[in-house]
């Protein structure tokens, strides 16, 4: 599992490096940024259990968490329209997505305890951007494609600690492709540095295998989405 995690980080870094390889920084703007903030999840929705003990559960509230991320992007100097500038950004961020176990309604056993313990929830997006320069301020927005990875540790399901079950990551559907939306504001503090504040929204669907022994494994499917508010600093490579 550690080897897999290292491979994912190397893959992200290679994607970031690819932007610099294909987009020259001269006569335009190429930047890198780092930010942190808070992630506010929506409910776990459409939670359903497959197998012999099939059941549907009511929505489950997620827990707020710390979030951080890195982004690399490029704006083309001559790609403008009516004062708008256009660019492309690779945006990666990581947060948790736990849901504290609580009693929920179920159409299988009436009521049950349900919860999620998540090691990390990661999203990598490729986002076309449009922005407007207003002196030192630069409002921007974008919508693009994203791949999200859910590193799920275990699911609490039932009414006793015995029913805490591990997730089988090797054969679970822990990746999902979807849409990412963001809006933000840059503030120039020098020739090369900008402070930014940013809002990001992502949504994912998952189907995980829960390990209860070879004869009692079952699948749990759910949808989730989250709102991310981040602040950070970007560095512009154009001023050499």
Joined together, the tokens standing for residue 37 give 């903030």
Class of domain 2-236: mainly beta
Tokens of 191: 């020739």
The per-residue pLDDT for 169 is 62
- H/E stretch holding 151 reads strand 137-158
pLDDT of 23 strictly over 50: no
Query: What do you get for the CA distance between the two ends of the chain, in Å?
Result: 42
60-85 mean pLDDT: 88
Per the CB < 8 A criterion, the answer to whether 107 and 55 are in contact is: yes
- Whether residue 126 contacts residue 142, with contact meaning beta carbons closer than 8 Å, is answered with no
In degrees to the nearest 10, what's the CA dihedral of 95, 152, 112, 110? Answer: 100
Residue extents of the structural domains in the chain: 2-236
pLDDT at 209: 75
pLDDT, mean over the chain: 79
Average pLDDT on 132-146 reads: 94
Beta bridge partners of 39: 65, 228
Tell me if residue 63 falls in helix, strand or coil.
coil
Q: How confident is the model at residue 25 (pLDDT cuts 50, 70, 90)?
A: very low
Give 82's pLDDT tier (boundaries 50, 70, 90): confident
Q: Read off the pLDDT band of 110 (50, 70, 90).
A: low
pLDDT average, residue stretch 225-240:
86
pLDDT of residue 161: 52
DSSP code per residue over 16-31: HHHHHHHS--TTSEEE
Inter-residue contact 199 to 169 (CB < 8 Å): no
For residue 181, the model assigns a pLDDT of: 95
| 22 CB-near residues (< 8 Å, 6+ apart) | none
With 60 as the cut, is the pLDDT of residue 239 above it?
Answer: no
Closest CA to 233 of 192, 200, 202: 192
Percent of the chain with pLDDT over 70: 72
pLDDT over 90 (residue 120): no
pLDDT bracket for residue 56 (50, 70, 90): confident
Are 151 and 103 in contact by the 8 Å Cβ rule? The answer is no
């Amino acid at each position: 599992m550690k080897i897999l995690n290292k491979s994912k980080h190397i893959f992200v870094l290679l994607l970031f490096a690819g932007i610099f390889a294909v987009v020259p920084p001269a006569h335009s703007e190429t930047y890198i940024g780092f930010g942190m903030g808070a992630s506010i999840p929506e409910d776990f929705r459409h939670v359903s259990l497959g197998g012999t003990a099939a059941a549907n559960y009511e929505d489950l509230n997620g827990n707020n968490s710390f979030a951080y991320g890195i982004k690399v992007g490029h704006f083309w100097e001559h790609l403008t329209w009516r004062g708008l500038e256009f660019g492309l950004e690779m945006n990666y961020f990581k947060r948790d997505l736990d849901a504290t176990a609580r009693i929920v309604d179920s159409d299988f056993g009436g009521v049950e305890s349900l919860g999620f313990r998540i090691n990390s929830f990661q999203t990598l997006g490729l986002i076309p951007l449009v922005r407007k320069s207003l002196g030192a301020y630069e409002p921007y927005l974008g919508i693009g494609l994203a791949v999200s990875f859910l590193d799920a540790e275990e699911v609490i399901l039932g009414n006793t600690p015995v029913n805490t079950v591990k997730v089988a990551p090797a054969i679970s559907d822990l990746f999902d492709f979807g849409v990412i939306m963001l809006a933000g504001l840059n503030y120039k503090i020098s020739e090369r540095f900008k402070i930014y504040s940013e809002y990001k929204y992502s949504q994912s669907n998952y189907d995980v295998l829960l390990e209860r022994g070879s004869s009692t494994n079952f699948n749990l499917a759910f949808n989730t989405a989250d709102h991310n508010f981040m602040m950070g600093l970007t560095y512009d490579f154009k001023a050499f």
